[in-house]
């Protein structure tokens, strides 16, 4: 599983601390250690990536090397997603397979980061070769393009739940940028095992708010905030500058 964050608003003053926090979580994740003991190395070494949109430009980069060896990206206020990858056993590696994953839809461009697993062989996506594509990218391309992003996401999440395709967890952050340059961000959390490692948190401050993997929020470098709550299971949210909205 991986570590992810999605933040919106004016985060310029805290970007350094947010990036240090995800680096801390990726270097040594205490909840991953608690969950698996010595079975799994408690770091996230399998690449990282980000996507940033400020209303005028998209900055989208992916890297093979671990995030804990990286410097903060050059980004602007608006919408930002960052992901540190810990690949599931047997999944393809390299920069191409780092998150976020991207897809062009009828009315927009969509970017997705994911923590957890999906049984990709059961999704049966024609465009995807199971052996060379990750479960996250397979899931992204399984989304039926309804022309309206919320309905497209709801249908895809309902399908995974109905067919029991989730493996461990399905924690998602999604950025959708439409043809007019309007951007929306969404978050979703589900999991099959009660563990602090798997939970996503919503955090709100005066200038920014976002959704974060648990150990990012627990870092000593994480910036001060006014409110924190755990995302409900099986609930799709929209992340806006005004707050978090159930949809």
CA–CA separation, 46 vs 27, rounded Å? 11
- How much is the average pLDDT of 194-222? 96
Domain that holds residue 133: 3-246
pLDDT digits (tens, 9 = 90+) for 92-110: 899 999 999 999 999 999 9
Q: In the predicted model, is pLDDT for residue 68 greater than 80? A: yes
- 44 within 8 A of 29, measured Cβ to Cβ: yes
Confidence bin at 131 (pLDDT 50/70/90): confident
CATH number at residue 32: 3.60.20.10
Sequence-ordered strand ranges (E) for 26-77? 48-53, 58-63
Backbone dihedral angles phi then psi of residue 34, each to the nearest 5 degrees: -65, -35
pLDDT digits (tens, 9 = 90+) for 157-191: 999 999 999 998 999 999 999 999 999 999 999 99
Per the structure, how many domains does the chain have?
1
- How much is the average pLDDT of 104-117? 96
pTM: 0.96
pLDDT digits (tens, 9 = 90+) for 1-28: 799 999 999 999 999 999 999 999 999 9
Instruction: Collapse the DSSP code of 7 into the 3-class scheme (helix H, G, I; strand E, B; otherwise coil) and give the result.
Output: strand
């Amino acid at each position: 599983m991986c570590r992810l964050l999605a933040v919106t608003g004016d985060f310029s003053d805290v970007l350094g601390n947010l990036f240090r926090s995800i680096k801390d979580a990726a270097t040594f994740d205490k909840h991953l250690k608690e969950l698996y003991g010595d079975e799994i190395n408690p770091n996230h070494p399998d690449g990282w990536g980000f996507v940033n949109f400020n209303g005028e430009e998209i900055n989208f980069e992916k890297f093979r090397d671990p995030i804990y060896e990286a410097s903060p990206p050059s980004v602007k206020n608006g919408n930002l997603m960052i992901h540190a990858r810990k690949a599931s056993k047997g999944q393809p590696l390299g920069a191409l397979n780092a998150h976020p994953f991207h897809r062009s839809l009828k009315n927009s461009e969509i970017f997705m980061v994911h923590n957890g697993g999906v049984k990709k062989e059961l999704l049966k996506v024609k465009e995807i070769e199971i052996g060379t594509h990750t479960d996250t990218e397979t899931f992204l391309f399984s989304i039926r393009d309804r022309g309206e992003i919320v309905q497209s996401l709801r249908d895809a999440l309902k399908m995974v739940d109905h067919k029991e395709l989730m493996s461990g967890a399905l924690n998602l952050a999604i950025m959708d940028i439409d043809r007019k340059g309007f951007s929306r961000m969404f978050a979703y959390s589900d999991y099959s095992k009660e563990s602090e490692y798997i939970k996503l948190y919503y955090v709100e401050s005066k200038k920014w708010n976002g959704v974060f993997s648990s150990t990012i929020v627990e870092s000593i470098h994480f910036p001060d905030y006014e409110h924190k709550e755990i995302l409900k299971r099986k609930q799709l949210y929209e992340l806006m500058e005004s707050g978090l909205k159930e949809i």
